[in-house]
Amino acid sequence: MLNKTSLSRRLLDQLYTVQKLSIYEISKKTSISKSTVHRRLIQYQILRRTYEEAFQIRNERGNCYRYKGEIIMNTSLAYILGVLVGDGFATKKSREGGHVIGLSVGDEKFAETFAKHVKKLGYRTKVKKYGPYKANRKPRYRSLFYSSKFFHWFKKLTTKKIEEMVTNKKEWIVAFIKGFYESEGTVGKDRKWSYLRIGNTDWKLMMLVHRLLFRLGYHFKLYGPYKKEKAKPFYRLHLGNADEIDSFLKLVNPCIKNAI
């Protein structure tokens, strides 16, 4: 086991530049913390890799995978789209490098369900646990996959295009609503009355979800905008009919938020 002082410039340059190990891999190999390795890179003025270079190295080693198949609408893709327009994200700047699409949430079951559908599309992913880093905080669960093709395709999508794609089959509408509800929904009781709510700041997206829910036979009411200081206007879909709530939960069968 090395100590902090034994991580010389020559050794660090060999591990990082020649062997092309990541900061995490160097930390694991030497038993020196990642923050210390990072500080030594700056101290020794060793040129850091770009996100694209880091991604390329990971890709060559098989640690990530670029799926080159066609992006064709199916139930899994509809679910993933529902998640991505809710709690998910797609970015080309991250610690992992490259074009990253994924989900980071506090519910492990949600992350695992997302990962299952990602794998059905042909992408590689796995659920990783992070934290908790502070007391009284819950751990986070993250599922990522890498694809510049999917990233650019997703970023060009409009609410109109999403509606055109998912409305071809009822099961696609249900899958999209399921992903969005698991991201943005809640169910419970207010005094004696049951309720089911779905909220988001995107007006066009909420109008789309409202139309899709109506096609499925549910009479949600759309409220908003609710305005708070230094925050985007917020919109909420509300369903208060107990029979419709029960029917919705049975149809969508969400992996979370399914108990009144």
Angle between helices 170-184 and 108-120 (to 10 degrees): 150
| Cβ contact 46:9 at 8 Å | yes
The two tokens of residue 71 are 């992006």
Per-residue pLDDT of the chain (260 residues; tens, 9 = 90+): 555 567 889 999 999 999 989 888 899 888 899 889 989 999 999 988 876 677 667 666 655 444 456 788 999 999 999 999 999 999 986 555 578 999 999 999 999 999 999 999 888 899 999 988 787 888 999 999 988 889 999 999 999 999 999 999 999 999 999 999 999 999 998 878 899 999 999 999 999 999 999 999 999 999 999 988 788 899 999 999 999 999 999 999 999 998 76
Instruction: Round to whole Å and give the CA distance between 1 and 77.
Output: 46
Collapse the DSSP code of 215 into the 3-class scheme (helix H, G, I; strand E, B; otherwise coil) and give the result: helix
pTM score of the predicted model: 0.74
